[in-house]
Amino acid sequence: MVHRLVVSYGTPEDPAAFDAYYREIHTPLALEQPGLVRLTFGHGKAMDPAQPAPYLVAELDFDSEEAMGQALTSPEGRAAGADLANFATGGVSFLHFDVQTASPA
């Protein structure tokens, strides 16, 4: 079963600098984590304008919660975590879960 880590970034002080840093520096660091199956990210848009959306959302998939934990505590995972202070000026939050799949009838 896939286990997913979702990282939500608040609006940064300098969006253009954030985007460049995220693509060129942070994403390559994150991709080095052992056991990472997939990393996707994008700029979210709220369906309800009264509710603010995160500036950017990243989803990191692992084979299990245990694999995620091992990745995050690896030297590569610690380096990616430490790198957040270099660009995430709008704040960052994390959540994780086992991915459940539903199909239309």
User: Is residue 22 within 8 Å of 28, Cβ to Cβ?
Assistant: no
Say if domain 3-46+53-98 classifies as CATH 3.30.70.100.
yes
Domain ranges of the chain: 3-46+53-98
pTM of the model: 0.93
pLDDT at residue 93, as a whole number: 97
pLDDT at residue 1, as a whole number: 86
Collapsed DSSP state (helix, strand, coil) of residue 74: coil
Q: Give tens-digit pLDDT for 33-51.
A: 999 999 999 998 999 989 9
Helix (H) or strand (E) holding 42: strand 36-42
pLDDT at residue 105, as a whole number: 84
Side chain identity at residue 61, one-letter code:
D
Side chain identity at residue 75, one-letter code:
P
pLDDT at residue 36, as a whole number: 98
Could you tell me the end-to-end alpha-carbon distance of the chain, in angstroms, rounded to an integer? 22
User: Is residue 87 within 8 Å of 33, Cβ to Cβ?
Assistant: no
